[in-house]
Homo-oligomer: A and B are copies of this chain.
Amino acid sequence: MRIAFVIGTAVATIKNEKLRGHKLLMVQNADPSGKVQGEPFIAVDTVDAGTGDLVVITEGSSARQTDLTTNIPVDAVIIAVIDSLEISGETTFRKE
């Protein structure tokens, strides 16, 4: 699963009806210290994540395995908000 940073939101009035009520968040890959990199993309939120959170993103058919996203045309979903990352015994990220 990708480690990504929630950077913003997307608003769409015209959309597939299965998406109604779902929050579309803009996310961007993050390195282990929480710095963003690469190209932003959109993920559906399932854990009440907000801008500024470092999150775990599941992609592909597995994105449809949450109760909120069953049978919905989404390929990326936020499944966790990261509290901390530890590499070789050293904490590289801690949620403020």
Q: Are B39 and A29 in contact (CB under 8 A)?
A: yes
Closest-CB distance, A77 to chain B (whole angstroms): 6
Find the residue from A29, A39, A61, A65 having the highest chain B CB count within 10 A: A65
A1-49 with Cβ < 8 A to chain B: 1-3, 7-16, 18-19, 24, 26, 29, 31-32, 37, 39-43, 46-49
Q: Are A75 and B62 in contact (CB under 8 A)?
A: yes
Which among B15, B59, B85 is the interface contact of A47 at CB below 8 angstroms? B15
Report B-chain residues with C-beta under 8 Å of the C-beta of A29. 39
Closest-CB distance, A82 to chain B (whole angstroms): 5
Which among B7, B47, B74, B86 is the interface contact of A11 at CB below 8 angstroms? B86
A→B interface (CB under 8 Å): 1-3, 7-16, 18-19, 24, 26, 29, 31-32, 37, 39-43, 46-49, 51, 56, 58-66, 71-77, 79-88, 92
